[in-house]
Structure 1
């Protein structure tokens, strides 16, 4: 399975999300820049008006095998193709910046440096306090990424399963890595409390795919990511296992400016 094939299997969601973004950005009174916030409500302009005044749709996305990547010098990816369709629908040029720093991306959205974060963002109550979300376009769950045992391809299913963590209780005493600023740390902390503690959670400034690669290379033993990302990476690194869920199904959406009443 090629990267190009993988993202095209997801691109069927394009038209639905393109219209939903417009719904999320209908007149809300939320300005692009902080100085505009001081204006009286009757003098404010809408988010959509500010986008059109600027003359382009400014979006930040992440660089990985699903969202955005270069293939023979051409930008491709699920998020990128959706954004192109959306910009065409709005009759606006598209300005895409790439950043895998989640905390920075949310800060840029709040400050008005970008109009949207086009990433597979898990919708949580905590995040809703700071930003608004489009309607969910995907459901996923958080999974543990671990290596299969040595010579796994010579084992039967029962032998492989016995060598893997399948019970979440067995995470006690294990070091598990997550991307800084992601929702995975909070989920692991909750899980650690639920099982009586003991999970050593390490937040690092590396995107999920980099952490997955380090697990594949044997540099790390465990990390947590979205199942969608994990499954894609098992096609490139079949020695990886992503069959142990850490969370229930969760909604995934894009983030836009928080709507004001």
Structure 2
């Protein structure tokens, strides 16, 4: 007890007078940094979301006709559902940087097909394998048919920086005493394959799955020469996240029989579909369009003062860009307005994309005006508007009143959303200040999260 009092007194004195390197930093490290770094599964679940490093490519993560797609993306979405958390994606094309982000606590998981190596195992843990992968040499019809490594002579091979390819080629070069040159580049395998197909470079190395998918687009590619036999590929977490690793491995075991093979077939064994998804103007990989209605969405967003990709996210959430979509409750059009709202905001033909979208825009402007005085901050008010659009502003106003009654911050969506979720609890929805009664408020809170999540994806993958 005496020692504890002395320690606490010492810390208080040091905090009071300050030094360049404080006692706390010296003995316990920077608390804010360490707090992020040591986050394991309970901390991730308490935070409410998991951050995963992914690649932006035709098999990892991309946007197609407004929909988020990709092998790793769909796997991660299912994992996040299992862990009962939201999914936040961090796009990292540099593999070494992905490991830096993991060790610094900027991501909780690297969701790339990675082979285990001694260099990569420092302070990290590899999951059970997701599958096996071959590495192949990629050339074009002018590169010449390879039947032995000696045929490369003194050629140059371009490889992605941070991948295992350089080590594989160096080992072959040394053991067989070959003369080829290896050049590393931050460009992704798919970009390098494009350059091979177009004759800019002669050779590159890629995982066989990526090479096969891209060979569909380019008939003249030769991907028959294997660099290395099949090896296990896994995802990676920090070494000090054992509970996350355990849950990840359990999930992988459960999904290996059907879910993972089905996804693998979708992205790697259906080359025609992969080709159209990757080369469509509505793909973030080849174009910059989200939907055929981008122009009217941009006009509507300008009237709202919104980023057009945010309004596109709301349209995607409501109707998936289907002009004739009708909900079970009778909501219609791109922004799924109810009949009474259609009439109030001047929409005569809800199946007309321009008319229905502008009706929704007028409704959103009304909601923005409703909340403007109570929530002056634009970014915070946006979430009130989205929740009101989903559940009705009466229910959100009830939550605002409860927030005021209990002395919380009425200008903060984080505070008000807590009371909106409580509107299914009779202790709260029977409160005399509640005017609109019972509501499944948690659905509206999740709705806001979903729209904002799609918006973050659109911002990352589609230009303004």
1:130-149 pair list within 5 angstroms: 130-149=123-142
Q: Helix, strand or coil for the counterpart of 2:223? A: strand
Question: 1 or 2 for the larger relative contact order (CA 8 Å, sep ≥6)?
Answer: 1
Q: 1:178 aligns with which of 134, 137, 159?
A: 159
Q: Helix, strand or coil for the counterpart of 2:229? A: coil
Q: Give 1 or 2: higher helix fraction.
A: 2
Question: 1:36 deviation in Å?
Answer: 4.4
Residue 59 of structure 2 corresponds to 66
- CA separation in 1, counterparts of 2:86 and 2:35? 24
Deviates more, 1:130-139 or 1:87-96: 130-139
Residue 168 of structure 1 corresponds to 149
1:195-214 pair list within 5 angstroms: 195-214=176-195
Q: Helix, strand or coil for the counterpart of 1:126? A: coil
Give CA deviations for 1:189-225 in whole Å, capped at 9, x if unaligned: 1111011131200001101111011101110100011
Residue 357 of structure 2 corresponds to none
- Cα–Cα, structure 1 residues 130 and 202, in superposed 2: closer, same or farther, change >3 Å? farther
Aligned length: 212
1:1-261 pair list within 5 angstroms: 34-36=33-35, 47-149=40-142, 163-259=144-240
- Cα–Cα, structure 1 residues 183 and 130, in superposed 2: closer, same or farther, change >3 Å? farther
Q: For the Cα contact (< 8 Å) 1:142–1:224, is it kept in 2?
A: yes
Q: For the Cα contact (< 8 Å) 1:109–1:257, is it kept in 2?
A: yes
Q: Helix, strand or coil for the counterpart of 2:97? A: helix
Give CA deviations for 1:136-169 in whole Å, capped at 9, x if unaligned: 011112110000249xxxxxxxxxxxx3112122
Work out which of the two has the higher radius of gyration on C-alpha atoms and give 1 or 2.
2
Residue 159 of structure 1 corresponds to none
- Cα–Cα, structure 1 residues 165 and 181, in superposed 2: closer, same or farther, change >3 Å? same
- CA separation in 2, counterparts of 1:113 and 1:122? 22
Q: For the Cα contact (< 8 Å) 1:172–1:195, is it kept in 2?
A: no
Question: 1:120 deviation in Å?
Answer: 1.3
- CA separation in 1, counterparts of 2:32 and 2:224? 44
TM-score after normalising by structure 1? 0.76
Q: Helix, strand or coil for the counterpart of 2:137? A: strand
- CA separation in 2, counterparts of 1:164 and 1:123? 31
- Cα–Cα, structure 1 residues 117 and 84, in superposed 2: closer, same or farther, change >3 Å? same
Question: 1:35 deviation in Å?
Answer: 2.5
The RMSD of aligned alpha carbons is 2.2
- CA separation in 2, counterparts of 1:62 and 1:170? 33
Q: For the Cα contact (< 8 Å) 1:116–1:256, is it kept in 2?
A: yes
- Unpaired runs of 5+ residues, structure 2, are 1-30, 243-464
- CA separation in 2, counterparts of 1:106 and 1:240? 32
Give CA deviations for 1:223-244 in whole Å, capped at 9, x if unaligned: 0111111111101112111110
Question: 1:260 deviation in Å?
Answer: 7.8
Q: For the Cα contact (< 8 Å) 1:116–1:254, is it kept in 2?
A: yes
Q: Helix, strand or coil for the counterpart of 2:154? A: coil
Q: Give 1 or 2: higher strand fraction.
A: 1
Q: For the Cα contact (< 8 Å) 2:50–2:80, is it kept in 1?
A: yes
- Cα–Cα, structure 1 residues 149 and 132, in superposed 2: closer, same or farther, change >3 Å? same
Residue 26 of structure 2 corresponds to none
- CA separation in 2, counterparts of 1:136 and 1:51? 23
- Unpaired runs of 5+ residues, structure 1, are 1-31, 39-44, 151-162
Residue 287 of structure 2 corresponds to none
Residue 16 of structure 1 corresponds to none
